[in-house]
Amino acid sequence: MTAVTTARVSVPATSANLGPGFDSLGLALAMRDELEGELTGSGVVVEVTGAGAGEVPLDESHLVVRAMRVAFDALGEAPAGLRLRCANVVPHARGLGSSSAAIVGGLVLARALVDGGAERLDDRAVLDLAVGMEGHPDNVAPALLGGFVISGTDPRDGSSYAVRSAVDARVGTVVFVPAEPVSTELARGLLPPTVPHADAAAAAGAAALLVAALAGDVDQLWRGTRDTLHQHYRRPAMPDSLDLVERLRADGVPAVVSGAGPTVLAFVLDGDDDLAPLCPPGWQHHILAIDPEGARATVLG
């Protein structure tokens, strides 16, 4: 199959939506899961430490393994056996892209284990495979490419696109992570099938402004993160998160629900940590830079 037998991948956490950019805007954050794959003679062995240990399956149904199988199939390869080691840092079911990290990490890891894999399965192909598994590109695109990414699906042919956009070096984030998870399915299930035209128009304007704000017009970050499209509908699933967003925004802090929640993300400048006292009891507080790199693969042997 290949002369490569062992490879390692590092893949970042991500935050999607960023307020008004529903299913289209996403950031890579400097918090990384580490995956190591080894081709073996037979069977599948999965070892997990950190986030998800004792909770996720340790067999073929593990999400990283499933993603690796998708990539191997796309490359026309069928390894006899696999040992996977996952050192997870990204918290699960908190709106920081843990499933996207697993999917992108698995796809890139499998690619790295195949001779010429990067030429045979380029990033565009990996993005399409990742979107096929995840359902939308807003988290998988920054996990793959790094930085700030505008992404979507072309309605004409169903193909995915992802375009990196500039981020001012002063901009960073603070995330507040609750102890209890919220499933993406539950959070999405609270969204109505239609929204008022005025709300959609306001969200479109704010999302466009946010692109400019992140690129350098940082005084517009608060206005550019104003959401009218989805966050308030999710209050029943995460009332404490929405309360925190509202408290922060009332103080002039550009705060949003990260992805489908319940983590709250706030934009800060120059590593500012003045928000630490506002972290609710029992929550975790992290200062995270915007990671300019996406998934990184290293061949070990």
172 forms beta bridges with 268
Q: Is 52 among the annotated ligand-binding positions?
A: no
Measured between alpha carbons, how far is 58 from 127 in angstroms, rounded to an integer?
25
Q: Is 196 among the annotated ligand-binding positions?
A: no
Pairing of strands 296-299, 81-88: unpaired
Q: Is 96 among the annotated ligand-binding positions?
A: yes
Taken as a whole, the chain contains a residue count of 301
Collect all residues with Cβ–Cβ distance below 8 Å to 287 and sequence separation of at least 6.
172, 173, 174, 268, 271, 273
Measured between alpha carbons, how far is 246 from 228 in angstroms, rounded to an integer?
13
Collect all residues with Cβ–Cβ distance below 8 Å to 69 and sequence separation of at least 6.
60, 110
Measured between alpha carbons, how far is 102 from 78 in angstroms, rounded to an integer?
20
Q: Is 10 among the annotated ligand-binding positions?
A: no
Q: Is 91 among the annotated ligand-binding positions?
A: yes
Q: Is 101 among the annotated ligand-binding positions?
A: yes
177 forms beta bridges with 284
Measured between alpha carbons, how far is 22 from 24 in angstroms, rounded to an integer?
5
Give the DSSP letter of residue 158: -
CB atoms near residue 127 (< 10 Å): 23
Measured between alpha carbons, how far is 214 from 292 in angstroms, rounded to an integer?
13
Q: Is 95 among the annotated ligand-binding positions?
A: yes
Measured between alpha carbons, how far is 267 from 224 in angstroms, rounded to an integer?
11
Q: Is 100 among the annotated ligand-binding positions?
A: yes
Q: Which two tokens stand for residue 144?
A: 């793959």
From its phi and psi, is residue 48 left (phi > 0), alpha (psi between -120 and 50) or beta? Answer: beta
Q: Is 20 among the annotated ligand-binding positions?
A: no
From its phi and psi, is residue 92 left (phi > 0), alpha (psi between -120 and 50) or beta? Answer: beta
Helix (H, G, I), strand (E, B) or coil at 169: coil
Query: Residues forming the annotated binding site for ATP?
Result: 91-101
Query: Residues forming the annotated binding site?
Result: 91-101
